[in-house]
Amino acid sequence: MSSVSQHDPPVDLIDSGERHLIWAITEPQLIRQISDLLSDLPFYDADGHHRYETALAYQRERIEQLSSPTGKEAFDYIMMSLVEFSDPGLVVLPIHRLVRGISPDTKAKLIHWLTNQDLFTVETNPLSDIKANLAENIFHKLKPAEGEGALFGVLGLEDDSLIILRQRPDVSIDKAMPEARSQAYRKLSVSLLNHLILEEILGIDSGKDDIEYTADVDEAYRRVTEGDYQLAFIISLPKVEVVKTIADAGDKMPRKSTYFYPKVPAGLVINPLW
């Protein structure tokens, strides 16, 4: 690979402050070497499984239309961006939940549950103390200690306050989670939030209109402050290893739980299917 990158890249552009460089590998021998090196390695679909499933469906559809498919048509291939898990440039950000449509009774139910439950410690943090650098300060407060369990914050439950829910170390959460899911899945902050609070207490379906997703803490705060949404649940930073651990257990990440950065720009490389 180093021999290829010694030459000037055919594509070198800056978009939204990010620089993208692309080199084309066209030598058959080098392509075979790369294929052989990767052939026995596992691949983890961290982002884009719907696109992959769509590509497979399109492949099946096109094969049925051909009398003698060769297995080497353009639709037999799919473009991927492959990144090593340990790449220092790979950043995994959390995706936060914005919710609305909560009745006064349901909100009272949540407050009553928080007051009487024994799964979490509940901390109230005035936003006036951290508003100057809101996102940075919230992530600092939500930085889990080594081995710490579920941890997330809530905006909008109390006026001008961030409520932090921190799982008690001596309390098991197994009863609050689906039995069929792996231990790695059950330990995720977003898993506990989804199943216990959003679904069971608030009665919110993750696929409905009453919930929105954002990776931007400042946007979450603004949408709650402006009244577009009633509550914002702020998730602590996940570790990239969690994705691998859950996949190795034969499980899947919760819906909209991670935002991988940087994103590959759409349309930078195109695979024509004709």
d(CA 255, CA 194): 9
Give the H or E element holding residue 124: strand 120-126
Least confident stretch, 8-22, 91-105, 111-125, 173-187: 173-187
Domains (ranges, CATH) in the chain?
2-88 (no CATH), 91-260 (3.30.1760.10)
Q: Indicate the pLDDT class of residue 32, thresholds 50, 70 and 90.
A: very high
Count Cβ neighbours within 10 Å for each residue of 64-74 and write b for 16 or more, e otherwise. eeeeeeeeeee
Q: pTM of the entire structure?
A: 0.84
- Structure token pair of residue 75: 């639709």
Read off the pLDDT of residues 185-222 as tens digits, 9 standing for 90 and up: 888 889 989 988 999 899 987 667 889 999 999 999 99
Read off the pLDDT of residues 241-264 as tens digits, 9 standing for 90 and up: 888 888 898 888 888 888 888 888
The confidence score (pLDDT) of residue 60 equals 95
